[in-house]
Structure 1
Amino acid sequence: MANLSSLIKLRRHNVEEKQKNLAMLYREAEEIENSKNVLIERLNLEKVKLETRINVAQDDVREAFANLKRIEIVQRERDATEKKEQADKESREMDEIGIEGFRRKEEQGEY
Protein backbone atom coordinates (compact mmCIF):
# COMPACT_ATOMS: atom_id res chain seq x y z
CA MET A 1 0.00 0.00 0.00
CA ALA A 2 1.12 3.49 -0.82
CA ASN A 3 1.83 6.06 1.80
CA LEU A 4 -0.98 8.62 1.96
CA SER A 5 0.83 11.18 4.12
CA SER A 6 1.30 13.61 1.20
CA LEU A 7 -2.37 13.38 0.33
CA ILE A 8 -3.29 13.84 4.00
CA LYS A 9 -1.09 16.97 4.18
CA LEU A 10 -2.70 18.34 1.04
CA ARG A 11 -6.20 17.68 2.32
CA ARG A 12 -5.31 19.10 5.76
CA HIS A 13 -4.00 22.25 4.05
CA ASN A 14 -7.21 22.41 2.00
CA VAL A 15 -9.31 22.11 5.19
CA GLU A 16 -7.23 24.85 6.90
CA GLU A 17 -7.74 27.22 3.94
CA LYS A 18 -11.48 26.59 4.02
CA GLN A 19 -11.49 27.18 7.80
CA LYS A 20 -9.62 30.48 7.29
CA ASN A 21 -12.15 31.48 4.65
CA LEU A 22 -15.02 30.55 6.97
CA ALA A 23 -13.45 32.53 9.83
CA MET A 24 -13.10 35.54 7.53
CA LEU A 25 -16.76 35.26 6.55
CA TYR A 26 -17.76 35.09 10.23
CA ARG A 27 -15.71 38.25 10.92
CA GLU A 28 -17.41 40.05 8.02
CA ALA A 29 -20.82 38.96 9.28
CA GLU A 30 -19.92 40.21 12.77
CA GLU A 31 -18.73 43.55 11.36
CA ILE A 32 -21.97 43.91 9.41
CA GLU A 33 -23.98 43.08 12.53
CA ASN A 34 -22.02 45.67 14.52
CA SER A 35 -22.55 48.26 11.77
CA LYS A 36 -26.24 47.42 11.72
CA ASN A 37 -26.48 47.90 15.49
CA VAL A 38 -24.69 51.27 15.26
CA LEU A 39 -27.04 52.39 12.50
CA ILE A 40 -30.10 51.22 14.41
CA GLU A 41 -28.93 53.13 17.48
CA ARG A 42 -28.39 56.27 15.40
CA LEU A 43 -31.83 55.90 13.84
CA ASN A 44 -33.40 55.42 17.26
CA LEU A 45 -31.70 58.58 18.53
CA GLU A 46 -32.89 60.52 15.48
CA LYS A 47 -36.40 59.17 16.01
CA VAL A 48 -36.38 60.33 19.63
CA LYS A 49 -35.21 63.79 18.53
CA LEU A 50 -37.92 63.91 15.87
CA GLU A 51 -40.60 62.79 18.32
CA THR A 52 -39.51 65.60 20.66
CA ARG A 53 -39.82 68.12 17.83
CA ILE A 54 -43.23 66.67 16.91
CA ASN A 55 -44.43 67.07 20.52
CA VAL A 56 -43.25 70.69 20.58
CA ALA A 57 -44.97 71.35 17.24
CA GLN A 58 -48.19 69.73 18.53
CA ASP A 59 -48.07 71.96 21.61
CA ASP A 60 -47.57 74.99 19.37
CA VAL A 61 -50.57 74.01 17.24
CA ARG A 62 -52.72 73.48 20.34
CA GLU A 63 -51.69 76.86 21.75
CA ALA A 64 -52.30 78.63 18.43
CA PHE A 65 -55.71 76.96 18.11
CA ALA A 66 -56.64 77.97 21.67
CA ASN A 67 -55.61 81.57 20.92
CA LEU A 68 -57.67 81.52 17.73
CA LYS A 69 -60.72 80.23 19.61
CA ARG A 70 -60.34 82.91 22.30
CA ILE A 71 -60.23 85.62 19.64
CA GLU A 72 -63.22 84.12 17.82
CA ILE A 73 -65.20 84.09 21.07
CA VAL A 74 -64.31 87.73 21.74
CA GLN A 75 -65.34 88.63 18.18
CA ARG A 76 -68.67 86.80 18.54
CA GLU A 77 -69.33 88.60 21.81
CA ARG A 78 -68.47 91.95 20.22
CA ASP A 79 -70.69 91.18 17.23
CA ALA A 80 -73.56 90.20 19.54
CA THR A 81 -73.07 93.35 21.63
CA GLU A 82 -72.95 95.49 18.51
CA LYS A 83 -76.06 93.82 17.11
CA LYS A 84 -77.91 94.34 20.40
CA GLU A 85 -76.80 97.96 20.58
CA GLN A 86 -77.97 98.50 16.99
CA ALA A 87 -81.32 96.85 17.75
CA ASP A 88 -81.68 98.96 20.91
CA LYS A 89 -80.84 102.10 18.93
CA GLU A 90 -83.39 101.22 16.24
CA SER A 91 -85.97 100.49 18.93
CA ARG A 92 -85.33 103.87 20.60
CA GLU A 93 -85.58 105.59 17.22
CA MET A 94 -88.86 103.83 16.50
CA ASP A 95 -90.12 104.77 19.97
CA GLU A 96 -89.16 108.40 19.33
CA ILE A 97 -90.93 108.32 15.97
CA GLY A 98 -94.02 106.85 17.63
CA ILE A 99 -93.93 109.40 20.45
CA GLU A 100 -93.39 112.26 18.00
CA GLY A 101 -96.32 111.03 15.89
CA PHE A 102 -98.47 110.81 18.99
CA ARG A 103 -97.51 114.38 20.01
CA ARG A 104 -98.33 115.72 16.57
CA LYS A 105 -101.69 114.04 16.58
CA GLU A 106 -102.30 115.23 20.11
CA GLU A 107 -101.37 118.77 19.13
CA GLN A 108 -103.71 118.55 16.18
CA GLY A 109 -106.37 117.33 18.53
CA GLU A 110 -106.77 113.90 17.05
CA TYR A 111 -106.48 112.22 20.43
Structure 2
Amino acid sequence: MVSRSRMMADLDPLIRYRKHGVDEKRRVLSGLYAQAEELAKKKEAMEAEIEAETIAAEQALSAESAAYLGRYLEGARKKIRVIELSVRKLETKIMIAQEDMRNAFAEMKKIEMTQENREAQKKSEENRKEVQELDEIALDGYRRRLEEDK
Protein backbone atom coordinates (compact mmCIF):
# COMPACT_ATOMS: atom_id res chain seq x y z
CA MET A 1 0.00 0.00 0.00
CA VAL A 2 1.27 3.48 -0.88
CA SER A 3 1.74 5.79 2.07
CA ARG A 4 -0.34 8.93 2.29
CA SER A 5 2.68 11.24 2.08
CA ARG A 6 3.87 9.41 -1.06
CA MET A 7 0.44 9.85 -2.69
CA MET A 8 0.41 13.53 -1.83
CA ALA A 9 3.80 14.29 -3.40
CA ASP A 10 3.14 12.89 -6.87
CA LEU A 11 1.59 15.97 -8.51
CA ASP A 12 4.84 17.41 -9.92
CA PRO A 13 4.86 15.15 -13.01
CA LEU A 14 1.21 16.00 -13.64
CA ILE A 15 1.97 19.71 -13.32
CA ARG A 16 4.82 19.39 -15.84
CA TYR A 17 2.51 17.49 -18.20
CA ARG A 18 -0.17 20.18 -17.90
CA LYS A 19 2.38 22.96 -18.48
CA HIS A 20 3.50 21.19 -21.63
CA GLY A 21 -0.14 21.00 -22.76
CA VAL A 22 -0.64 24.72 -22.10
CA ASP A 23 2.55 25.51 -24.04
CA GLU A 24 1.34 23.42 -26.98
CA LYS A 25 -2.01 25.21 -26.98
CA ARG A 26 -0.19 28.55 -26.82
CA ARG A 27 1.87 27.57 -29.87
CA VAL A 28 -1.28 26.59 -31.78
CA LEU A 29 -2.89 29.90 -30.87
CA SER A 30 0.23 31.77 -31.92
CA GLY A 31 0.10 30.00 -35.29
CA LEU A 32 -3.53 31.00 -35.73
CA TYR A 33 -2.68 34.62 -34.94
CA ALA A 34 0.13 34.48 -37.52
CA GLN A 35 -2.32 33.16 -40.12
CA ALA A 36 -4.78 35.95 -39.31
CA GLU A 37 -2.02 38.53 -39.66
CA GLU A 38 -0.99 37.05 -43.02
CA LEU A 39 -4.59 37.21 -44.27
CA ALA A 40 -4.88 40.83 -43.13
CA LYS A 41 -1.69 41.66 -45.06
CA LYS A 42 -3.04 39.92 -48.18
CA LYS A 43 -6.27 41.91 -47.93
CA GLU A 44 -4.39 45.19 -47.49
CA ALA A 45 -2.15 44.36 -50.47
CA MET A 46 -5.18 43.52 -52.61
CA GLU A 47 -6.91 46.78 -51.63
CA ALA A 48 -3.75 48.76 -52.41
CA GLU A 49 -3.50 47.00 -55.77
CA ILE A 50 -7.14 47.84 -56.55
CA GLU A 51 -6.48 51.49 -55.77
CA ALA A 52 -3.33 51.55 -57.93
CA GLU A 53 -5.08 49.86 -60.87
CA THR A 54 -8.05 52.23 -60.59
CA ILE A 55 -5.73 55.26 -60.70
CA ALA A 56 -3.83 53.79 -63.67
CA ALA A 57 -7.06 53.11 -65.58
CA GLU A 58 -8.36 56.64 -64.89
CA GLN A 59 -5.12 58.10 -66.22
CA ALA A 60 -5.25 55.93 -69.37
CA LEU A 61 -8.66 57.33 -70.32
CA SER A 62 -9.39 54.54 -72.80
CA ALA A 63 -12.49 52.38 -73.17
CA GLU A 64 -10.33 49.29 -73.29
CA SER A 65 -8.67 50.06 -69.95
CA ALA A 66 -12.10 50.75 -68.41
CA ALA A 67 -13.35 47.34 -69.60
CA TYR A 68 -10.28 45.56 -68.22
CA LEU A 69 -10.59 47.51 -64.98
CA GLY A 70 -14.18 46.33 -64.51
CA ARG A 71 -13.20 42.67 -64.89
CA TYR A 72 -10.13 43.16 -62.72
CA LEU A 73 -12.15 44.86 -59.95
CA GLU A 74 -14.72 42.07 -60.03
CA GLY A 75 -12.02 39.41 -59.62
CA ALA A 76 -10.15 41.39 -56.97
CA ARG A 77 -13.30 41.97 -54.92
CA LYS A 78 -14.07 38.26 -55.15
CA LYS A 79 -10.58 37.49 -53.78
CA ILE A 80 -11.16 39.99 -50.95
CA ARG A 81 -14.47 38.28 -50.08
CA VAL A 82 -12.68 34.91 -49.98
CA ILE A 83 -10.01 36.41 -47.70
CA GLU A 84 -12.70 37.92 -45.43
CA LEU A 85 -14.47 34.55 -45.26
CA SER A 86 -11.17 32.89 -44.33
CA VAL A 87 -10.62 35.54 -41.65
CA ARG A 88 -14.06 34.86 -40.15
CA LYS A 89 -13.39 31.11 -40.08
CA LEU A 90 -9.99 31.76 -38.54
CA GLU A 91 -11.51 34.06 -35.89
CA THR A 92 -13.79 31.20 -34.87
CA LYS A 93 -10.80 28.87 -34.61
CA ILE A 94 -8.95 31.50 -32.57
CA MET A 95 -11.87 31.87 -30.14
CA ILE A 96 -12.03 28.08 -29.70
CA ALA A 97 -8.25 27.87 -29.22
CA GLN A 98 -8.34 30.72 -26.68
CA GLU A 99 -11.06 28.98 -24.70
CA ASP A 100 -9.19 25.69 -24.89
CA MET A 101 -6.00 27.35 -23.64
CA ARG A 102 -7.87 29.13 -20.83
CA ASN A 103 -9.38 25.82 -19.70
CA ALA A 104 -6.03 24.04 -19.84
CA PHE A 105 -4.39 26.86 -17.88
CA ALA A 106 -7.17 26.80 -15.27
CA GLU A 107 -6.78 23.02 -14.86
CA MET A 108 -3.02 23.41 -14.48
CA LYS A 109 -3.51 26.14 -11.84
CA LYS A 110 -5.96 23.94 -9.90
CA ILE A 111 -3.37 21.18 -9.76
CA GLU A 112 -0.62 23.64 -8.76
CA MET A 113 -2.83 25.01 -5.98
CA THR A 114 -3.61 21.49 -4.80
CA GLN A 115 0.12 20.76 -4.72
CA GLU A 116 0.79 23.96 -2.77
CA ASN A 117 -1.97 23.09 -0.30
CA ARG A 118 -0.58 19.59 0.14
CA GLU A 119 2.92 20.93 0.71
CA ALA A 120 1.61 23.45 3.26
CA GLN A 121 -0.35 20.69 4.99
CA LYS A 122 2.73 18.45 5.04
CA LYS A 123 4.88 21.29 6.44
CA SER A 124 2.25 22.00 9.10
CA GLU A 125 2.16 18.32 10.06
CA GLU A 126 5.96 18.21 10.25
CA ASN A 127 5.99 21.33 12.44
CA ARG A 128 3.31 19.84 14.69
CA LYS A 129 5.31 16.62 15.09
CA GLU A 130 8.49 18.58 15.80
CA VAL A 131 6.75 20.66 18.48
CA GLN A 132 5.27 17.48 19.95
CA GLU A 133 8.72 15.84 20.07
CA LEU A 134 10.26 18.93 21.67
CA ASP A 135 7.45 19.00 24.22
CA GLU A 136 8.08 15.33 25.04
CA ILE A 137 11.81 15.98 25.42
CA ALA A 138 11.14 18.93 27.71
CA LEU A 139 8.60 16.92 29.70
CA ASP A 140 11.06 14.01 30.07
CA GLY A 141 13.73 16.45 31.26
CA TYR A 142 11.31 17.96 33.75
CA ARG A 143 10.38 14.50 35.08
CA ARG A 144 14.06 13.53 35.46
CA ARG A 145 14.76 16.72 37.40
CA LEU A 146 11.78 16.03 39.65
CA GLU A 147 13.03 12.49 40.30
CA GLU A 148 16.56 13.75 40.93
CA ASP A 149 15.25 16.33 43.38
CA LYS A 150 13.50 13.63 45.45
Interval containing the TM-score (normalised by the shorter chain): 0.7 to 0.9
Instruction: Say how many residue pairs are matched.
Output: 90
Q: Distance in 2 between matches of 1:66 and 1:108?
A: 62
1:50-69 to structure 2, matched below 5 A, reads 50-69=90-109
After superposition, the CA RMSD in angstroms is: 1.7
Look at both structures and tell me which one has the larger radius of gyration over its CA atoms: 1
1:103 is aligned to: 143
TM-score normalised by the chain length of structure 2? 0.55
In structure 1, what is the Cα distance between the partners aligned to 2:139 and 2:66? 107
Aligned residue for 2:127? 87
Q: Which amino acid aligns with 1:88?
A: R
Structure 1: runs of 5+ lacking an equivalent: 1-21
Find the aligned partners of 2:69 and 2:124 in 1 and give their Cα distance.
80
SS state at 2:149 partner: coil
Report the counterpart of residue 5 of structure 1 in structure 2: none
**In 2, distance between residues paired with 1:92 and 1:25?**
97
1:44 offset after TM fit, Å? 0.4
* 1:27-78 Cα distance to aligned partner (Å, 9 max, x none): 2111101111110111001101111111111111111111121112111211
Percent identity of equivalent pairs: 37
Relative contact order, higher structure (CA 8 A, sep 6+): 2
TM-score normalised to structure 1 length: 0.73
Give the whole-Å Cα distance in 2 for the aligned partners of 1:48 and 1:84: 53
The answer for unaligned runs of 5 or more in structure 2 is 1-61
